[in-house]
Structure 1
Amino acid sequence: MNYKTILNEIQPTTKEKEQIHTLSNNLIKYLNRILKEQNINAEALLVGSVAKNTFLRGKSDIDIFINFPLSTPMDQLKELGLKLGYQCSEEFNGKAEEHYASHPYLTSCIDGYDIDFVPCYKIKSAKQLKSAVDRTLLHTKYITSHLKEEQKSEVLLLKKFMSEIKTYGSEFKVGGFAGYLCELLILKYGTFEKLLENAQNWNYGIIIDLEDYGTGKNFNDPLITIDPTDENRNVGAALRLEKMVDFIIASRNFLDETNNDKKSDYFKPLNKKQKISTSEILKKFKDRETHTLLLKFEIPEIPPDSLHPQLNKTMESITEKLETKDFSIFKSDYWTDENKLAIFIFELNVYKQSKYIIHEGPKIWSKKSCDNFKNYRGDKLYSIDDLLVLTKERKFKTPESYINYILTNENIHNIKIGKNLKDLIIATYDLDLIENFLSNKNFENYSFKKDFLNFLDDFIYPKQYVKR
């Protein structure tokens, strides 16, 4: 396949590159001048995809790291890093906001670009590592010294391909391939297409070790890619098995000769043939002949990387508890706008239980156990095979009754819940059947309507993105 047309669409334009590098250079020059004037022993450097020229058109977040000597106390590094970031942001009329990774850093919007000002330690090897962000310096240096100029285009093809099949990004909500991992894969296989040819035959636990450290056996992950700058780190540790499988299947689909006329479609947003409307989504759910509950609640003001693990943990715990109460879950998932709202979705095979349940007691061979059971449960006992049992009324006949029971201050301990979610989910939750929620006249006016309908469409038809 000739990728020239694709590259013309995804490579940054000459004007975009000039603007980005001019802005980056001006910011770095200003910071280094201030550092010198204030007699601060540190240096500002450009890192990340912009420094490596492996960023996609319109995806040019700028990472500026302020490097301090290893002798700098951590508290001083944090304080000075934020102070310098704010000072630079103010000088260039930016709008700044604090974030937190391994330690605080500042993000500022300047001239339409998001700039990260990150304090770190100036290290020469991973053995000197004091915080996770420090290794970014080593990564940038390794890629710029090893990645050939023509391979940068291959990285762009890979990033775009992965973006459109929803496997790009190592943040929790994606669980996919990090940008640095993409660059290492191109270094390993040479080109985008050769990577796909190999990936279609990957097995669980495949090891990629560019520097031949021989430490791959120390890891048990779906994809083991030893960091060339740190023999004891797997760059693919955050990659979920599901996303690795999606990439393998998409690679096979892309390389399928019967799919030649659709190859270019893999570098574009998925063109869903059917219009996604509220009525169509309702029709699809009705056809499934299941019952689907939506649990809507407000979310706290915390970073997405903190929010998503907590939402997933809570949703999975409620799912598990519903299963233990005999409400068979066909599928569950969650959606959030990452700003104000989250929605859990529980699709149930079994929606309403019978009035009574057979409660099993001890085997009849132990008189003492049977006597204790009788004293505790009363005398309405009988046997099934060699078990002593009791017919009793169920406490929860519908999933709503159980969810309403656990989402109280008294009973929330019954589930595993994200630490920042507890108070808000109890105070603000709303539980409804999907048909009621979507049919409500207010839904048509919700700002999140389009995004949520897309989520529901993906819920009904999963993995649409891996094929065209």
Structure 2
Amino acid sequence: MKNKTNINQILQNVIEKITPPPSEKLSLDKTLLKFETKIKPELKKYGAKIFVGGSLAKQTLVKRDTNYDVDIFVLFPYSKFKTKSLELSKFLEQALKHAEIRYTILKGSRNYFQVKFKNVTLELIPILAIKKTSEAINITDISPLHVSYVLSQIKKNKKLADEIKLAKAFCYAADCYGAESYVRGFSGYALEVLVSYYGSFLKFIKAATNWNTKEKIIIDPKHYYKNEKKILEEMNEAKLHSPIILVDPVQRERNACAALSYETLKRFIEKAKKFLESPNECYFFKEKSDIEKLKNIAKKSKAKFVILKAISSKNKVDIAGAKLKKLYEFLYFLLKKNGFKILKSNFEFDEKTLEAKFYFILNEPPRDYIVRGPPLSVPEKYIKDFRKKWPAAFIKNNQLWAKAKRNVSNVSQLLKTIPKAQLKEMGIEKISL
């Protein structure tokens, strides 16, 4: 009973810390009203309306230390624009221009627009105003229906909004939040559906600790399918690669957890188990890598501690993050290939500066090393081939060996082996120690 009381108190404290204060919410609402007032006359020409989406609309917004990002869907009348779906971005761009609003074009299934307005970053997404999923021409057309579903769940359970905030904060701190390819975690909507399904944050993570990751975890909140076998048979195969199959309550053919990777799920389950064993507020607040702690680990292990910084040439968060994560994985591969022993590593990405930091604790390979050749019992051809490559080869215990020197024995040398053209092709502007 004491542990339960302790957890409940911790969760209540966290809710108070992650819920935006009324003054922030009021300021945000005023900013959005000013923006709507500015663009509304231009949207009216198309019969289009603004629909605020995302966490703000669903009442599941988590307090941020930085400026807020808000999704704004611009709804174009279905009957008038259903045959002009590909032109919606063009119409919205014209409205922004005529309203004299500065914007950045972001590429997507339909181009959308980022606007820095006052102290808020707005993302304007042009969509068709649909009433049912079958009318959707683009996946983004369904977004307002997701908002309606979550709000309907919160209406049934008033505490649900806070429970969802807890799940979002927990997953963000554990590097499990976001469907972007550099995270491959739970999207905000997936967490909203999961917490709604289980009824609370605690019930959700307790259930997660009992999931068998060796089998598909199948959840169908609205019981669209007769059984799990039917889901696996009828759902698009491309949607079934993730460890969790979460049937979207709004769109039965969609897996809301399709982006989730096995690695991220295992990390989430591990964090959930640790929290339940030893509840603490620290599990809900992300901390940057502790440099001194990492240095001490390296010192105790008699290893090198290396920090690499990299910046992507891409200006869209998810693309930049994906490029930098691929670079991190590429460097990890190169280090291993060149004989470095990696004891610990970590990837850290700043969504505001689009800069990444790669942390490595590693043992550098020795400059001199011995190459093992073929035994003398093999056909003469292989003996000659080895001696041709290693003229100073010697025999020991009926085996050929050769002394060699590495071209790369530290990280600085390794970085110099990567051609600038290759980095450019990878979408990397700069990498440095």
Aligned-partner Cα distance in 1 for 2:389–2:280: 67
Paired with 1:17 and 1:125, the residues of 2 have a C-alpha distance of 31
Q: 1:310 aligns with which of 323, 326, 348?
A: 323
Q: What letter matches 1:351 in structure 2?
A: P
Tell me if 1:197 matches 2:203.
no
1:353 paired with 2:353, answer no
Structure 2 stretches of 5 or more lacking a match?
Answer: 1-7
The amino acid across from 2:58 in the alignment is K
| Residue 129 of structure 1: how far off its partner (Å) | 4.4
Residue 83 of structure 2 aligns to a residue whose secondary structure is: coil
Equivalent residue letter for 2:70 = I
Quote the residue 2:249 is aligned against: 228
Say yes or no: does 1:61 pair with 2:82. Answer: no
Match of 1:109 among 112, 116, 121: 116
> For the Cα contact (< 8 Å) 1:296–1:343, is it kept in 2?
yes
Partner of 2:165: 156
Give the residue type in structure 1 aligned to 2:162.
Answer: S
How many matched pairs?
A: 404
* 1:72 partnered with 2:84: yes
Whether 2:178 is the aligned partner of 1:169: answer yes
Length-normalised TM-score, structure 1: 0.72
Which residue type is aligned with residue 115 of structure 2? S
**1:44 has 2:50 as partner:** yes
- The 3 A distance-change label for structure 1 pair 142 and 401 is closer
CA contact (8 A) 2:74 2:127 kept: yes
Counterparts of residues 10-21 of structure 1 (less than 5 Å): 10-21=18-29
Pairs within 5 Å for 1:115-134: 115-134=122-141
**One-letter identity of the residue aligned with 1:159:** K
Cα shift at 1:121: 3.1
**SS where residue 169 of structure 1 aligns?**
coil
User: 1:60 and 1:123 mapped to 2: Cα distance?
Assistant: 27
Q: Give TM-score scaled by structure 2 length.
A: 0.77
- The answer on 1:237 being equivalent to 2:233 is no
Counterpart for residue 393 of structure 1: 404
The sequence identity of aligned pairs, in percent, is 24
Q: Judging changes above 3 Å, is the alpha-carbon distance between structure 1 residues 340 and 236 closer, same or farther for their aligned structure 2 residues?
A: closer
Equivalent residues in 2 for 1:44-443, closer than 5 Å: 44-57=50-63, 61-68=69-76, 69-74=81-86, 76-88=87-99, 90=101, 96-147=103-154, 148-150=156-158, 151-204=160-213, 205-214=216-225, 216-217=231-232, 218=237, 219-256=240-277, 259=278, 262-263=279-280, 266-267=283-284, 282-296=295-309, 298-337=311-350, 339=353, 341-354=355-368, 356-360=369-373, 365-367=378-380, 373=385, 376-377=388-389, 389=400, 391-396=402-407, 398-400=409-411, 402-408=413-419, 419-421=426-428, 424-425=429-430, 429-431=431-433
Structure 1 residues without counterparts, runs of 5 or longer: 432-468
From the superposition, tell whether residues 232 and 398 of structure 1 become closer, same or farther in structure 2 (CA, over 3 Å): same
Change (3 A) 1:287 1:228: same
* Contact 1:176 1:243 (C-alpha < 8 Å) held by counterparts: yes
Amino acid at match of 1:325: N
Quickly say closer, same or farther: Cα 1:242–1:87, change in 2 above 3 A.
farther
- TM-superposed CA distance for 1:369, in Å, is 5.3
Range with greater deviation from structure 2 (390-399 or 17-26): 17-26
